[in-house]
Amino acid sequence: NGLIAGNKISNGAGDSGGIVVDADAAGLVVEKNAIKAVTDSGITVNGTDIVLRGNKVKAGGGDPGDHGVEISGTNHVIEGNSATR
């Protein structure tokens, strides 16, 4: 278990993203983070049983292949997040 919460990330230089999570155990919570104007994906999540809740990404992804939020793995709970360009 772990918690990543309440962070504010903005204006990354070069090819920088917001929050990158590669969890090797179940139960990580990523919530109420605000990411804006990053040049790569705003939030990237990989693992199992991760809770992604109440995060806001604005203008994430500088390239067409980048996304506001990228999710891979299994059994995640995703609720109340927003991502806009």
DSSP assignments along 2-16, one per residue: EEEES-EEE---SS-
Q: What is the pLDDT of residue 15?
A: 67
Q: Tell me the pLDDT of the chain averaged across its residues.
A: 86
Average pLDDT value for residue range 33-48:
87
Q: What is the pLDDT of residue 84?
A: 83
Distance set, CA 17 to CA 25, 49, 52, 54, 74 (Å): 23, 22, 17, 18, 22
Is the CB of residue 45 less than 8 Å from the CB of residue 72? yes
Tell me the pTM: 0.86
